[in-house]
Structure 1
């Protein structure tokens, strides 16, 4: 009898050591998991599969079958232990990219430079055209994305008058088979809110009443839900950089420029009438990076520090959008 007990104990130790080795291998596999694999449930499934093949010890019977049945009827959330982070509860969809099989090297982000050289958009408090701000920031975002491996990033420059140029840029983005469309702009206010002042001997206009970034999406976009997901990532990252969003779009004083706020935490607004958001055949977002009609914020928008904050925030949002694991684990 004692010899049998010893054999059973020894067998348990050997089985335990095999299980330990299996767990170590599984965790290592998780760390090396390629980007294309997106189902967070694969690790628990391995354990389930292993248990099915190995089977329970032949002489051991469940003492409480009823409790075991209840557990199987109400499965708990999958838990994946991340190194140095403790246990993290992740739903099965948490690691699913917003776009299927996003490979940064082939994923095409189109950065639309708002307005044109012929139709320059808003004029800043110091008489600088919005188009200049848009072009500079879009170039910086493109550089950061390419440095992060998004080699197919495209800068979209359009010529011509305002409204015809909108349809041109939509057609170009669709022809490029873009995976993601982001239009870069800088904000102003309705004319009725402008005040007069003089800068360097020239008459100009300003409004120091409002400031901040804004993110817009359209419910008429064929992929509105994905557009909204990306917009919220941008807002979240800009907020993490210490920036605040412009709240005036909810106020009646904005008149026809008043828009519903979809997320009061991230500053995402609904703007259904925007052609570049409605007519593009891919997820599309428009970013108003900041107010250039506000004299203080104009100076900030002109600084390398602010430009770097915004471009870094947008690049991080694109990486998260491509692979949500990046937000949890950092660079993969």
Structure 2
């Protein structure tokens, strides 16, 4: 489409909307354009003021070699120019080139069920193993993703003791040639924070001090940038479900379990040494869905309603990761 023809079409569209919706329309149009058009460098000129054009001296017409150099500029340079404009209200995924969108029918996400039947992870306030919580939630997420068209979703169950099973699950994920890995866990607290109580006549432990979800990435993952982008989407959807993130991981009281908080708004942390995040060949994210050592939250995590809510949030995050335009326009 030639430049003048584009502006005639865009003018007709804009005339139908109120002024306060103009920016949303412009963003939607830009998102739907082929990436070659946006790279050509003329669309951003539309957003410059006429006064600046009037005061600017006329520049010489760029040579063919200069145009080619501009077209081949790395994506990170374009992102730097965007960052110079300051914070924006759009999620980072919207800046992802449209050419990178995936086909849900062939996109393969591996859902790693945290821990194993032999090494069950944390024990809840009511003496239920974390592995049981992880498996139920992972199966619900699998069912929801497949219902949304992600037919290649794979559930990953590992066997054996804790550390050896970590390397086996990484090898299995890599052999599946997955595009993305999401490891499902449920949270507890360090032993020094536990308190004693009895449940159904059995001695147990609890800590009602902390609650909430948390999302982890490793800066040593071979594709940390993509891992972080998906982590942000997952965390954003957890927050949209009305959930709060677990803030304790940034506190000194956590000792060796303290981790850097990468986003204080959504609860994304870095956990660089975690094998399942660091050694996988694909982008990887770990979700602590909630605390099962907190007595009230354990009951919530055990409910079908909470599992459905989390699974729906993960599905929305995957859809937006697969095609950023979905966040602006809904299903296409």
Does TM, scored on the shorter chain, surpass 0.5? yes
Any conservation in 2 of the 1:105–1:151 contact (CA below 8 Å)? yes
Contact 1:218 1:274 in 2 (8 A): yes
- SS of 2:196's equivalent in the other structure is strand
1:55-92: CA deviations, max 9, x gaps? xxxxxxxxx9x72865989xxxxxxxxxxxxxx99899
Say whether the 8 Å CA contact 2:218–2:270 is kept in structure 1: yes
Structure 2 distance, partners of 1:312, 1:174, is 26
Instruction: Tell me, yes or no, if the aligned pair for 2:35 and 2:98 is still in contact at 8 Å.
Output: no
> CA separation of 1:98/1:315 partners in 2, compared to 1, >3 Å: closer, same or farther?
farther
Equivalent residues of 1:106, 1:152 under 8 A apart: yes
Match of 1:288? 288
1:122 equivalenced with 2:127 (yes/no): no
TM alignment of 1:1-332, pairs within 5 A = 41=38, 67=54, 94=94, 96=96, 100-332=100-332
- Cα pair 2:213 2:289 within 8 Å, conserved: yes
TM-score (norm 1): 0.76
**Higher relative helix content:** 2
| Structure 2: runs of 5+ lacking an equivalent | 14-26, 46-50, 61-87
Cα 1:20/1:177, change in 2 over 3 Å: same
- 8 Å Cα contact 1:146-1:153 kept in structure 2: yes
Q: Quick check: 1:36–1:102 contact (8 Å CA) kept in 2?
A: no
Question: How far apart are 1:306 and its partner, in Å?
Answer: 1.1
**Matched residue of 1:205: which SS?**
strand
RMSD value, Cα? 3.7
Large movers: runs of 4+ above 3 Å: 16-25, 30-40, 42-46, 68-73, 88-95
Q: Using structure 2 for the length normalisation, give the TM-score.
A: 0.76
1:274 and 1:206 mapped to 2: Cα distance?
25
